[in-house]
Amino acid sequence: MEVIEQISLLRNRLAAYRQEHKQTQIGYVPTMGYLHDGHASLLRRAKEQTGLVVLSIFVNPLQFGPNEDFEKYPRDTERDLQLAEAAGVDIVFLPSVAEMYPKPTQTTVSVKGITSRLCGASRPGHFDGVATVVSKLFNIVQPDKAFFGLKDAQQIAVITQMVEDLNMPVEIVPCPTLREADGLALSSRNVYLSAEERSQAVVLSQSLAAAEAFISEHQHFTSEELVEAVKVHIRKATLGEIDYVEALAFPSLEPFTSIDTVTEKRIIVALAVKFSKARLIDNQIFPIRK
């Protein structure tokens, strides 16, 4: 496994690889590091589907708000490199902030519509930062396939829309969320939870199970009724505060009133819950019975 910190060196390395292996695809997993088994599952999937796997680790300041946790975001490069090597990564791209932003960027990539709801409403500017850095990383790595976890479903929706709108020559591969034994979605931010919060955090996945039960029991329902069925469960976490719970058409992330009016084939129930030092997100995508 190679670790490369400079853009120009990475470009040269990948150009040489493409010259030698004309028929082989390059797979790419962009991350902010502090890797867990969820990331490892993306890397293993990339290894199955492509000939060369590039992992990037970059905590992107552009996607953090002024009062968010950029400085405190957990980092452990040594452990990350061990996990990457075990998962079969070929190249780790580990740029500094100065390497990625030698000067303040004048250019922004914005995706409207999709970004105005869910985390976009709670975190203004966040998805512009995501779309801009992912554009940069795609242009640097030029992968054939990029692998993203469905835990950040809105991020996948934004990236997919951007790739489609801008004709980016990359295939986005959504990958299932990995969970702890009790159902908690794996997240780098889970380390922020106290022991008591950790045990209560199970309400996120339980509330999505409640959504599943609600949907299977009801033929016709409103978005509001579904959201309320979810909120009932989350409120059991006395240490957690609901940031949002929303039911939206997927992948457009358009709101709906009655399920009967949704023209897409799937809906997503997505939620964010704030604990003292961690804001956790989770979601589930459901097919619509017609």
Binding region: 32-39, 63, 149-152, 155, 178, 186-189
Q: How far apart are CA 119 and CA 127, in angstroms?
A: 9
Rounded to a whole number of angstroms, the minimum distance from the CB of residue 60 to a second copy is 13
Q: How far apart are CA 12 and CA 82, in angstroms?
A: 25
Among 25, 49, 77, 105, binds a second copy (CB under 8 A): 105
Rounded to a whole number of angstroms, the minimum distance from the CB of residue 108 to a second copy is 5
Q: Which is nearer to a second copy, 170 or 285 (CB)?
A: 170
- Contact call for residue 7 and a second copy (CB under 8 A): yes
x/- letters, 116..155, toward a second copy (CB under 8 A): ---------------xx--xx--xx-x-------------
Q: Which residues are annotated as a binding site for beta-alanine?
A: 63
Q: How far apart are CA 92 and CA 252, in angstroms?
A: 33
- Contact call for residue 261 and a second copy (CB under 8 A): no
Nearest Cα to 172, choosing from 251, 235, 238, 225?
251
- Contact call for residue 168 and a second copy (CB under 8 A): yes
Nearest Cα to 157, choosing from 28, 53, 267?
267
Which residues are known catalytic residues? 39
C-beta separation of 277 from 192 below 8 A = yes
Rounded to a whole number of angstroms, the minimum distance from the CB of residue 77 to a second copy is 22
Q: Which is nearer to a second copy, 131 or 201 (CB)?
A: 131
Q: CB 155: neighbour CB atoms within 10 A?
A: 22
What's the token pair of residue 133?
């850095």
Among 26, 89, 94, 114, binds a second copy (CB under 8 A): 114
Q: How far apart are CA 2 and CA 54, in angstroms?
A: 10
Calculate Rg over the CA atoms of the chain: 19
Q: Which is nearer to a second copy, 66 or 104 (CB)?
A: 104
What's the token pair of residue 277?
């030092």
Q: Which stretch binds a second copy (CB under 8 A): 161-169, 191-199, 216-224, 256-264?
A: 161-169
What's the token pair of residue 142?
């030029």
Q: Is the dihedral of CA 36, 34, 147, 15 positive or negative?
A: negative
Q: Which stretch binds a second copy (CB under 8 A): 47-55, 61-69, 158-166, 182-190?
A: 158-166
Query: Does the N-terminal peptide bond of residue 251 adopt cis geometry, omega within 30 degrees of 0?
Result: yes
- Contact call for residue 165 and a second copy (CB under 8 A): yes
Rounded to a whole number of angstroms, the minimum distance from the CB of residue 143 to a second copy is 12
In one letter, which amino acid is 263?
T
Give the interface with a second copy as residue ranges (CB under 8 A): 7, 11, 19, 22, 105-114, 131-132, 135-136, 139-140, 142, 161-162, 165-169
